[in-house]
Structure formats: structure tokens, C-alpha cells
A and B are shown apart, each in its own frame.
Chain A
Amino acid sequence: MTLPTFNYMEVVYLIATALFILSLKWMSAPTTARRGVWAGEVGMLLAIVGTLFEKGIIDYHWIFIALVLGTIIGVPLGRVAMTAVPQRTALSHAFGACCVTLVGTAEFYLRSPNVPKFMMAVLCLEVILGGLTFTGSLMAAGKLQEVLPQRPITYKGQNLVNLALLAVAIVVGIVLILHPEHKNLFPAMVGIALVFGVLLIIPIGGADMPTVISLLNSYAGLSAAAMGFVLNSKLLIVAGALDGSSGFILSVIMCKAMNRSFANVIFGAFGQVQAAAAAGGEAKTVRSATAEEAAAILGAASSVVIVPGYGMAVAQAQHKVRELFDVLTKKGVDVRFGIHPVAGRMPGHMNVLLAEADIPYDRLKEMDDVNSDLPQTDVALIIGANDVTNPAARTDTSSPIYGMPIIDVDKARTVMVIKRSMNPGFAGIDNPLYYLDQTLMLFGDAKAFVGDIVRELSGSGGH
């Protein structure tokens, strides 16, 4: 008996696969997460360098040009401001899907007409998923960057058109599986997938972006896994499956946090419906307060919970919020942050912004933790968040957000809301929180108003 011989590349890929799994495992806690990035980088480097020595490769010319070009594009994308992370993420989903779709297309033309049925089916899956993720993610990035309108764009029969398009793409795919010699059908299928991706994202509003980005993340992973099947690369299958399951888990978390189903997010056109529902509100009275009054209440409190939302990111107020955190902490006030899972435009968005502003992460609390503390909390301060604090989600069965888990800020002794005006927020739902007896409205720009409060607090300091 002789020792088995094997391709050394498979060993390199095996090590890279192990490093990828460890990378995600170490990602679970902030103390080990940077080690996770390191493991991922080493695995990636091993795999790429190993591949460059692959026997079949005869021409390095274009490979190196592409690697250099990719690095030149990648570095500035890695340096974007933290507020731009959601659109960067959407853009990178688009790039990933673009790569997979192009490789799938090239593989088809190299192999056609001798494509086994199963191989063709996986190829179809790869390019349909890849194509719709590519344009869908570009659309999402455009909406997040506000190049495209954030409001959902809807028309009659929209869902029917979308489903019909997807059905046509699948039928073309089936024809190709049976007759892979019809080369002309392939670009048609890719084209339909690209159009479908655009139409799929058009009706989705900004507030639904956390779910949509997670879903696109999942699709990008699955299309990469399909590519792994086509190329018979176990490493790629594993990486795609990990990415796919990650995106899937995040989508489920986001959907649960909004008490909605996938189908409802994709086909629901949320913002539109609510804008109509909010039209019939009657005039109610609110109490407003100045920065001076707000500072006095905050300074006298022993515990404060700050609830940030997308408005804080828009106003770039996170650094002022850190100053507020510092001055209150110095006065002995216990300040924590209540982070709703869908606050912001992508999963974990608020945590990154607050960490960037140097707020220690042990002060950032999840919704359930903070909710059990809120009845004993003196002040809940809401900065740029709306729907995630709306008590109608608990009480009003007719509200579009009924059943959505919220941060129970109305249970705090005093509620303060920093808001530009009484205009209903992006989603257009009226918030009964603003009319409660213990609620004070602080009208103004989040950054400027928090700055004023900080000035009052540090000016009157030392009592």
C-alpha cells in the first residue's frame, strides 16, 4: 500500500476554510473580534497565493492588473466615514454578486453546449441570484446614499409584475437546463435577473433597509456557494454557506424586531401604507422645553437611558452625545444607551456610530436589557428615533406597527424627545409618546440641541 497522494492546493484550502470558521467564531465577542479579522486575512492570503501557483494558470498579466486595480478601489471604500457604512456594505454586496455573476457567465460560455443538467441548474441559480443581488444592492446603496429617492416607489400590480419577471427568468433557466446549446437564452436570463433586482428594491423604504441589506447579504452568500458547486471548490461552498447563513440570521433578527415577515418586507411597501394611515390625526397638545430646562432635569437625574435612532446619524450628533455622556457621567449620573435592533439603516449601525464616538461598549444595552430597567429610570432621552419608541406598537391594534417590540421609554419617569418639529417621521406614523404628561419635546437639530445641553451642564457644573 502506498501513501495517498493529493493536490497540495487542497491542503491550503483546507487550512483557509478552518481559518474562516475560526474568524467568525472569534467575531462573537469584542475582546476576540480583532483576532477574527486576522484569521480571516491569513486564510484569504493563503488561498489567493496558493491559487496563483495553480498549474493551469499560464498568464499572470491581467491577474496582477486586476488585483492592483481592486486594491486601489478597495482602500478608499475601506476608509469611508462610519455614517456611510450602510451604503458601503450594500455596494460591497453588489461587487460580490457582480464577481459571481461574471464568473458564472464565463463558465457557461466555456462549457456550453456540453453542460450536464445539474451543473446548468446550479449555474442558473448562481447567475439569477447573483444578477438580482447585483442590481438590487446597487439600488439599495443608491437609496442609502440618497442618490435615489428613499421613499418607496409603488404602482398598481407591482408585485404581479415582479413575480411574473422572476417566473420568466426561471422558465428560461429550465429551458437552458434541458437545452444548454441555446446560448442566446443565457444573456436574456441574466438580463431579466438584473431588471428584477431593480424592481425588487424600488418599493422598499429607508426604514426597511436593515432587513433588505441582510437579505441581500444572504443572497450574495448563496450565489457564491452555487459558484462553489460549479467550480467544485469546497472552500467557496463553505464561505458562501457561512455568508448565506449569516445574512439569513440577521434578516430573521431584523424581521422579528419589526414583527414582520420576509414577504411583508419585500412586497409590503411599508412607508406608503402608513403615510395614508397617518393623514387623519387630530391636534393634541405637547409640552416643550428649552436646553436649560432639559439640562437641569438631566443633571438632577440619577439614571438616564439614551435611545438613539437614524436621526442621530443624519445630524452627525454622535460626538456631541459622547460629550453629554461624559459630562453626565462626571456628575455621577448612570448613563446607558438603549439600542433597538432596527435602529439605523443596517444591523448594529448605532453601536458602530457610538463606538466611533468613544462611548464604551458596555454602556450599549440591548432592547430587552434596557426595557427591564426603564421603570426605575429617571430620564429617557430619545435622539432621532421614532417608531422604535412608539407605545402604539403595544396598545393600538389599528397601528401599522402594532406588535413590533419597542423600547418602553414611556415607562421612564421623564421622557425627553429631541426632534426637529412635530412632523411625523419618515414612516409617517403619529407617536402618542409625544402627548404623554411626562414627555418634554426638545425642538431643534439633534447636534445643536445636545451641544446646548452640554454647555448648560458644564457651565453650571460643580454643585
Chain B
Amino acid sequence: MSGDVLINSLFVFMLAGFIGFEVIRRVSPLLHTPLMSLTNALDAIAVVGAIVLVGEGKSKLATILGTIAVVAATSNIVSGFYITDRMLKMFKTTRPQKP
């Protein structure tokens, strides 16, 4: 990891941290449970790292650990998006919705 790459990564991390802070601060407490299941599903993007690990097949260990990692992350993606949508469907209002 060269110095440039590190600094680039730190910049991305810092900016994303600030964006996350500002965006999530605005989420209504009403939706805190679906928020957590959604961020959980998004976090499972780690699956791309695991997929590359398995696909490159550089060592037996990497293939085994990577395969388990893909299973774990995929189940998070599927269940996370699924349950978030199920929860959000339930939120109804008595007032007519604004367009």
C-alpha cells in the first residue's frame, strides 16, 4: 500500500463519514429499525471482496474462507433488503400522502 493510495483511501473514508453523519442525522426515529437493516444490507457489499477472493483461487484456504464469507454476506444482502422492504410497506398514514 503506497502512501498515495493510503491518503486517497483516508480522504474517501473521511468524506463518506461526514456524508453518513449528515444524511443519517435526518432519518426520522420512526424508521430507525429499517435504517439499521438497510445499512446492514449495504454493508454486505463486502461480498465483492469475498467474490474476488474465491474467484482468483490463489490458495485453498482463500477459497474456503472466501466461500463462507460469500455465503454470510449474501444472506445479509437478501434478508436485509427483504425485511427492510417488508417493514416499510407496513408504514401507513391516515393523512393523504403528498405527491
Contact = CB atoms under 8 A, between A and B. Distances in A.
A396 interface: no
Contact of A92 (B20, B37, B51): B37
- Interface range on chain A: under 10, 10 to 19, 20 to 34, or 35 or more? 35 or more
A74 B30 contact: no
A59 to B, nearest CB: 5
B30 A109 contact: no
A57 B23 CA distance: 35
- At the interface, is chain B mostly helix, strand, loop or mixed? helix
Q: Taking each of A48, A76, A106, A349, which has the highest tally of chain B beta carbons within 10 Å of its own beta carbon?
A: A106
Interface in B75-99: 75-95, 97-98
A44 B13 contact: no
Given A28-B28, A221-B43, A242 B67 contact: no
Given A89-B37, A110-B58, A348-B33, A233 B79 contact: no
B75 A48 contact: no
Contact of A235 (B48, B51, B69): B48
A80 B44 contact: no
A65 B67 contact: yes
Given A106-B61, A231-B49, A20 B9 contact: no
Interface stretch (A140-148, A161-169, A245-253, A404-412): A245-253
B48 A48 contact: yes
A106 B59 CA distance: 9
B45 A235 contact: yes
A213 B36 contact: yes
Nearest to A19: B42
A221 B88 contact: no
A81 to B, nearest CB: 11
Contact of A249 (B25, B41, B65, B90): B25
Interface in A345-393: 346-349, 351-352, 355-356, 358, 360-364, 366
B43 A57 contact: no
B48 to A, nearest CB: 4
B41 A44 contact: yes
A4 interface: no
A354 B55 CA distance: 45
B26 A238 contact: no
Nearest to B78: A74
A241 B56 contact: no
Nearest to B8: A234
A48 B77 CA distance: 11
A56 B56 contact: yes
Contacts of B81: 37, 40-41, 44, 78
B72 A347 contact: no
Interface string A4-34: 0000000000001000110111011111011
Given A27-B34, A40-B41, A231-B49, A99 B72 contact: yes
Contact of A30 (B46, B47, B73, B93): B93
Interface centre among A33, A44, A355 (most CB of B within 10 A): A33
A34 B38 contact: no
* B37, B77, B89, most chain A CB atoms within 10 A: B77
Nearest to A233: B49
A255 to B, nearest CB: 14
Given A347-B36, A348-B31, A236 B49 contact: yes
Interface in A211-269: 213-214, 217, 220-221, 224-225, 227-229, 231-247, 249-250, 253
Interface of A: 16, 20-21, 23-25, 27-31, 33-34, 36-37, 40-41, 43-44, 47-48, 51-52, 54, 56-60, 62-63, 65-67, 69-71, 73-80, 82, 85, 88-89, 92-93, 95-96, 98-100, 102-103, 105-107, 109-110, 116, 118-119, 213-214, 217, 220-221, 224-225, 227-229, 231-247, 249-250, 253, 339, 341, 346-349, 351-352, 355-356, 358, 360-364, 366
25 contacts: A31-B98, A33-B34, A40-B41, A48-B48, A62-B63, A74-B79, A79-B82, A79-B86, A92-B80, A95-B72, A95-B76, A96-B72, A96-B76, A99-B44, A99-B69, A100-B69, A106-B69, A109-B62, A220-B40, A242-B19, A246-B24, A347-B36, A355-B90, A355-B92, A361-B30
Closest 10 CB pairs of A and B: A70-B74, A74-B78, A78-B82, A57-B55, A348-B32, A245-B20, A66-B70, A241-B16, A77-B79, A347-B32
Interface of B: 1, 5-6, 8-9, 12-13, 16-17, 19-21, 23-59, 61-63, 65-95, 97-98
Given A40-B41, A74-B78, 17 more contacts: A25-B23, A30-B93, A37-B38, A44-B77, A62-B66, A65-B67, A67-B74, A73-B74, A105-B65, A109-B59, A217-B39, A220-B43, A241-B17, A242-B20, A243-B40, A346-B33, A347-B33
